[in-house]
Amino acid sequence: MFQILLVLNFLIFAISVINFATIRMPKNDEIVSGSVTVIVPMRNEADNVHECVSALAAQRGVDNLKVILVNDASTDKTLEFMRAATTGDNRFSIIDSPALRQGWLGKVSALQHGYDAADSEYIITLDADVRLAPSALVRAVNQLKDLHLDFISPYPRQVALTFSEKLIQPLLHWSWMSTVVLRLAEKFPRRSTAVANGQFFVVRKSSLDAAVGFTSVKNQILDDIELARSLIAAGCKGVVTEGSEIASTRMYASFDEIRQGYGKSLWKAFGNPIGALIATLFIFATGILPVLLFFSGYSFGLILYFYIVLTRAMSAIRSHGNPLHAFLHPLSSALLIYLIIYSWAKRGSIQWKGRTV
């Protein structure tokens, strides 16, 4: 068993080292002359409207920029604040989408409304709680062009303030940084190694047309991953990149939000119950078992623990997080296992922004 655990942890470590050294980072600030449309779906995002719009209005280096804000049947002051925040800036347009497309999930339906109205060369989808640096769009589009890819997903820095956020949010970045060799996934795209984050997603309009917009993911909880898979199935190439220098987001502000947010999606993350069981065993074996072995008198467990801590630290450095949080990995693993179980127990019944998902 020790040898199996050592090989497993070494593989995770090796993949992390490779990605740490080779991950793509957007740096090119050359002016983008091609047309760009940003689509921002918003449902009950009154607290985010002004900062989101302000960051988009401050973008530089994109000569032909359009922003489509899609009000997804908000019940708060989102639409009112949209109108106030965009007054006088003709780059912004607002789509009021009160009717949910039948058979569609809300966010994906709103994205499709934006896609139907977009005619630019490049399409960017953005969550309302993402904060962009002024160079974010120009660097993201240039990275797509420079790499000759069809889509990229610049992964935003995940802001974590509360203890529960510090436990769980860094795992998002680490999960793919330690399991997918990104340069191979970029050159030899496969559905099984697709990684994407719908918080900030850049795609050529022609490629999105080939995938028939968002129709292939109309009822998918994990619409970002599934969209990447649909694009790959359509013959496109793309990869996740390190976007922490140009974008940041605080997904959840409390443990209850974390539980509801992950609860609505984790049950779909591993395909089926067997996949979820395998993932749970993997998380336990790499994150919790080494500590249990150490406290049971096996010093070997400490070696395994530090292997994983190093991978977490590398992920934190790349994503502008706190490397010290890596030492909490056993607690993070335990919380993630709880969230997987919770998600399966509550699947199809969780309320998110006033809708059952």
Cα distance between residue 174 and residue 170, in whole Å: 6
- What are the helix (H) ranges across the chain? 2-22, 49-57, 78-86, 106-117, 136-146, 163-168, 170-177, 182-187, 205-210, 223-233, 255-263, 266-269, 273-287, 289-295, 300-318, 329-345
pLDDT digits (tens, 9 = 90+) for 82-140: 999 999 999 999 998 777 888 899 999 999 999 999 999 999 999 999 999 999 999 99
pLDDT at 82: 98
- A 10 A CB-CB count for 156 gives 29
pLDDT at 341: 96
Q: What is the mean pLDDT of each run of 10 residues along the chain (357 residues)?
A: 86 97 98 97 97 98 97 95 97 88 91 96 98 98 98 98 97 97 96 95 97 94 96 97 98 94 91 93 96 94 95 98 97 98 88 72
pLDDT at 225: 96
pLDDT at 22: 98
pLDDT digits (tens, 9 = 90+) for 20-36: 999 999 999 999 999 99
Helix (H, G, I), strand (E, B) or coil at 233: helix
Q: What domains can be seen in the chain, in order of their start residue?
A: 2-21+255-356 (no CATH), 25-146+190-236 (3.90.550.10)
CB 39 within 8 Å of CB 111: yes
pLDDT at 177: 97
Model pTM? 0.95
